[in-house]
Amino acid sequence: MGNMVYLKNVATLAIDTTKCSGCGFCLDVCPHNVFKMNGKNAKIVDRDACMECGACSRNCPAGAISVQSGVGCAAAVINSLLGRNGGECCCGPQKDDSGAPRSGGCCG
Ligand code: SF4
Ligand code: SF4
């Protein structure tokens, strides 16, 4: 993940703290530590690290998180276009073992 590139200010992630119950599920499921607790509510602390996988939104029992998931795993798509990595993405490798493009998932 060290050579991943993220665009600033493009993630669609948003949180409505008035709905948040403070359960902490979003902190548990986010693979990029985008959230932290702020008193009794979660807050976004690193929006630019969000890869829009949608796990937080799907697991929020209060419906407090919105994110446009499955729109392309922005970082993986951009890195792939730039030839910067092996194509790892939230939906798995973009190439199969033979190097052929993989179909399926949000990048397929
Ligand atoms: S999962 Fe939802 S309700 Fe729970 S802390 Fe996160 S935003 Fe708040
Ligand atoms: S969409 Fe995925 S990466 Fe972004 S904040 Fe939610 S769990 Fe984290």
- Report d(CA 26, CA 62) in Å as an integer: 11
| Alpha-carbon distances of 93 from 5, 20, 27, 63, 88, rounded to whole Å | 17, 34, 25, 30, 5
pLDDT band at 37 (very low <50, low <70, confident <90, very high): very high
Q: Which pLDDT tens digit goes with each residue over 1-10? A: 554 555 677 7
**Is any atom of ligand 1 closer than 6 Å to the C-beta of 62?**
yes
What number is the average pLDDT over the span 45-67?
Answer: 95
pLDDT of 107 reads 43
Its pTM surpasses 0.75: no
| Alpha-carbon distances of 61 from 24, 26, 64, rounded to whole Å | 10, 10, 8
pLDDT band at 16 (very low <50, low <70, confident <90, very high): very high
- Report d(CA 102, CA 90) in Å as an integer: 13
Please name which ligand lies nearest the alpha carbon of 42.
1
> Count of CB atoms within 10 A of residue 85's CB?
17
Radius of gyration of the chain (CA): 15
Q: Is the pLDDT of residue 63 over 60?
A: yes
Please name which ligand lies nearest the alpha carbon of 49.
2
pLDDT band at 100 (very low <50, low <70, confident <90, very high): low
**Is any atom of ligand 2 closer than 6 Å to the C-beta of 53?**
yes
Q: Is the pLDDT of residue 95 over 80?
A: no
- Report d(CA 93, CA 53) in Å as an integer: 15
Q: For residue 27, report the distance from its CA to the centre of ligand 1, in Å.
A: 8
